[in-house]
Amino acid sequence: MYSLSGKRVWVAGHRGMVGSAIVRRLAVEGCEVLTASRQDADLRNQAETTAWMDKTRPDAVFLAAAKVGGILANDTYPADFLYDNLMIEANIINGAHRVGVEKLMFLGSSCIYPKFAPQPITEDALLTGTLEPTNEWYAIAKIAGIKLCDAFRKQHDSDYISGMPTNLYGPGDNFDLNSSHVMPALIRKAHEAKLAGAASITIWGTGTPRREFLHVDDCADACVHLMKTHSAPGHVNIGSGEDVTILELTQMVCDVVGYKGEIEHDLSKPDGTPRKLMSADKLRGMGWTPQVELRDGISAVYRWFLDNKA
C-alpha cells in the first residue's frame, strides 16, 4: 500500500479533462496537490520542467499531461502528437528520478495496442502487431512512456507504474468539432441540430467501429486506486469492459439530448481502428470496478455542456 496522506502530489496536466478529474478525486486523500501552470513550466521543455520539479519536490506524480485529440487531430498533426508527448513524458519521468519522487503513475491510451489485436485486448497484446495508422504517432509516444517507466524500475528500482485508459468522456472535455473525440462531438452536433430544427446530423465514417467508453471520474478513481495499491512493471488497462458501435452511441446521445432527426455519414472521414475493447480483468482482479453507467454519464456531461458551453 502507498498512502497519499500528507504527501505532496503533483498532478501534471491538471487543466485537462483527466488531470482535473484526478485533482477532484484527490480531495479526500489528505494530500497536498501541486499543479504547474503553463507560465510555471512548459512541460515540453526539459530545463523548465526540471527547474519546476527541483523547486517543488513532489513525493508522488500523476503524469496526465499530454497532447490529446480525436481521430482527425491525431491524423493531421502527427509531429505534434509524437514530439510533444515524447518530450513531456521524458522530462517528467527523468525529473521524477532526479528529485527522488517516491511513486509515479504514467497515463497512456488504448491506442497503444495493435489495430487487429484479439478482443477483449489483454495487456500482453502490446507490441504484437501493427498499429492503427491514424494514431500511431500518439501510440508510439505512449508505448515509449510505458517502457521508460519500466526502464527506470529495472535500472533504478523506481516505483513507476502505467495505466492505459480507454476512450474517456466527462466534464471539461474539448467540444471543438475538428479536434475533439467522438463523444463531445456528438453531444454538440445533436444539441445544435435540435436548436436549429435540422433534419439530420452527420457523423464521421461508417458508424460501425466499436469503442469502449469510461467516465473520467471513474478513470480518476481507478488511477488513485492503482497509485495506492499497485506496484509492478508493465501497464494496467483502465476501462469499463463494454463497448458500443459509434452508431449506437450516436443514437444514445441523440436520445439523451432529445434530438429526433436522421443520422447521416461523412465517408470522407476515417473510421480508425475497427474495435478496441480492452480486457478489464486485471484491474477488476485488483478490486476496482467502474460506477458510472454510459447513459447516466452522457446525461451528466450534457448537463455540464448546457451549463458551460452551450
Positions 129 through 148 that interact with ligand GFB (CB under 6 A): 134-135, 138
Nearest one of 302, 143, 165, 154 to 241, comparing CA atoms: 165
* Among residues 20, 49, 91, 167, the one that binds ligand GFB under rule CB under 6 A: 167
CB 293 within 8 A of CB 241: no
Contact between 180 and ligand GFB per CB under 6 A: yes
Nearer to ligand GFB, 59 or 123 (CB): 123
Candidate ranges 5-13, 17-25, 122-130, 178-186; the one touching ligand GFB (CB under 6 A) = 178-186
Polymer length of the chain: 310
The residue count for binding ligand GFB (CB under 6 A) is 23
Mark 271-290 with x for binding to ligand GFB (rule: CB under 6 A) and - for no binding: xx------------------
Positions 1 through 60 that interact with ligand GFB (CB under 6 A): none
- What residues does 214 pair with on adjacent strands? 168
Tell me the C-alpha distance between 160 and 147, whole Å: 10
Contact between 298 and ligand GFB per CB under 6 A: no
Tell me the C-alpha distance between 242 and 3, whole Å: 31
Candidate ranges 15-23, 120-128, 198-206, 294-302; the one touching ligand GFB (CB under 6 A) = 198-206
Contact between 301 and ligand GFB per CB under 6 A: no
* Among residues 74, 237, 240, 279, the one that binds ligand GFB under rule CB under 6 A: 74
- Beta strands 235-238 and 103-107: pairing type? unpaired
77 counts as catalytic: no
> Considering the complex, what minimum distance in angstroms separates the CB of residue 20 from ligand GFB?
17
* Residue of 113, 138, 169, 259 with catalytic role: 138
Contact between 205 and ligand GFB per CB under 6 A: yes
* Among residues 12, 222, 246, 254, the one that binds ligand GFB under rule CB under 6 A: 246
Contact between 211 and ligand GFB per CB under 6 A: yes
* Among residues 63, 92, 185, 280, the one that binds ligand GFB under rule CB under 6 A: 185
Nearer to ligand GFB, 97 or 275 (CB): 275
Contact between 269 and ligand GFB per CB under 6 A: yes
Residues that bind ligand GFB in the complex, under the rule CB under 6 A: 70-71, 74, 109, 111, 134-135, 138, 167, 180-182, 185, 203-205, 209, 211, 246, 269-272
Instruction: Report the catalytic residues.
Output: 138
